[in-house]
Structure 1
């Protein structure tokens, strides 16, 4: 390779390293799951120069759902895997770290999936697992209408994106769960205060009332508390006039 070629490749590598560093910082600054996922998708499209990108979240071992996508088409493609019971995502979530599909018209690993996806005009796909040392979050999926669009270099880049994204998403989901728990406790406390003032109850008695209404109406305690705080009525009670 010429000195010029080596220099250009070095400059490209340095530029990509800088972009990846910026991505890592930006991802960990995003406060919500939605914002984190959107940032991952924007960087992914740019990093591998593909037409579509999507992120799926996994529930349990097999059920997946589209968390976000750059085009409504991607949600339809995700549904195909659930309908036919096979596809790259299934393998990535079970025992693979990534899967590269060069051409859906020629791929024989998942014939039912490949045939359906090809009818949508998608020829290439790259699926990478989003995981941390503690759990699997889902998958990062990249698509293109051109066959043989992705190569091993794109696969390596996608792995780097996925590792940063998985950590950021796991953190964001944990943070959101934490804030939801804090909000729920605030709501329950407010609801207890309303019952204590209205019926001269102790904190424990007011909490017992909320729990009873939660069980009798098959509602989450948070929802019972929210109903009482917003409407001043408990579930099953006639609305005040």
Structure 2
């Protein structure tokens, strides 16, 4: 198990982005835990994203919970808590969800939140075709795996945000250069023009800049 987590740490460090990071996590979950399927759902401003699953069954389970707003994954994300379903045939907390999951052959579930200092970033979902598949040791290992995943996902998201911010600054800088050359104005005036068009057209500043670079025209104002 120590070797498994050592390899996980290396692969997470080498992952190129959020999707690759969580795919690495779910693949390691199959090696380290008594689960038949695994998946990760990530918290977003809208509905949760499901960037990685080991089987289409997990995607179906997640979809049902997101559409209905009920189930252990939804509860784990809301309450930042670990939830265990020992047997979907007898668990009565979410009867509609349990019946649907049971119809897919899944008997037990372990949902562990992915948390950082900023809050919950997602949930690691583990599924087994046998009832009461997850014991105390499985929960402990799942928490370690979730901790690794939480840090990796948060880091990947931060890097993605920084990359996007740098790209946006480059676009705005290029667009400002076009305006400065075309109208013989300074950088402050060029930026003010881009910002005004952004506000007047309710368009992100980087999108205004991108349109100017691509078409050599500013967006039409309403």
Normalising by structure 1, we get a TM-score of: 0.84
Query: Residues 88 and 107 of structure 2 are in contact (CA less than 8 Å); yes or no, is this contact kept in structure 1?
Result: yes
1:30 aligns with 2:9: no
1:130 aligns with 2:114: yes
Query: Residues 34 and 134 of structure 2 are in contact (CA less than 8 Å); yes or no, is this contact kept in structure 1?
Result: no
Over 4 Å off, 4+ runs: none
For residue 83 of structure 1, report the CA deviation from its aligned partner.
2.8
Distance in structure 2 (CA, Å) of the matches to 1:85 and 1:233: 44
For residue 94 of structure 1, report the CA deviation from its aligned partner.
3.1
In the alignment, what sits opposite 1:56? 41
Q: Deviations over 1:173-209 (max 9, x none)?
A: 1111111101100110001001111121211111111
Q: Deviations over 1:24-82 (max 9, x none)?
A: 2321232311111111111111111422211111235x943323222333222112112
Unaligned runs of 5+ in 2: none
1:203 aligns with 2:187: yes
Query: Residues 80 and 117 of structure 1 are in contact (CA less than 8 Å); yes or no, is this contact kept in structure 2?
Result: no
Query: Residues 104 and 122 of structure 1 are in contact (CA less than 8 Å); yes or no, is this contact kept in structure 2?
Result: yes
Normalising by structure 2, we get a TM-score of: 0.91
Distance in structure 1 (CA, Å) of the matches to 2:56 and 2:181: 50
SS across alignment from 1:67: strand
Paired residues in the alignment total: 221
Unaligned runs of 5+ in 1: 1-15
In the alignment, what sits opposite 1:113? 97
Q: Deviations over 1:134-164 (max 9, x none)?
A: 3211100011233233222221111110001
Query: Residues 32 and 173 of structure 1 are in contact (CA less than 8 Å); yes or no, is this contact kept in structure 2?
Result: yes
Distance in structure 2 (CA, Å) of the matches to 1:18 and 1:120: 33
Residues 187-226 of structure 1 aligned to structure 2 (within 5 Å): 187-226=171-210
1:149 aligns with 2:157: no
Of 151, 168, 179 in structure 1, the residue corresponding to residue 163 of structure 2 is 179
CA-based RMSD? 1.9
Distance in structure 2 (CA, Å) of the matches to 1:199 and 1:212: 16
Distance in structure 2 (CA, Å) of the matches to 1:216 and 1:71: 46
Of 147, 160, 173 in structure 1, the residue corresponding to residue 144 of structure 2 is 160
Q: Deviations over 1:100-136 (max 9, x none)?
A: 2122111112212212222232222111010123321
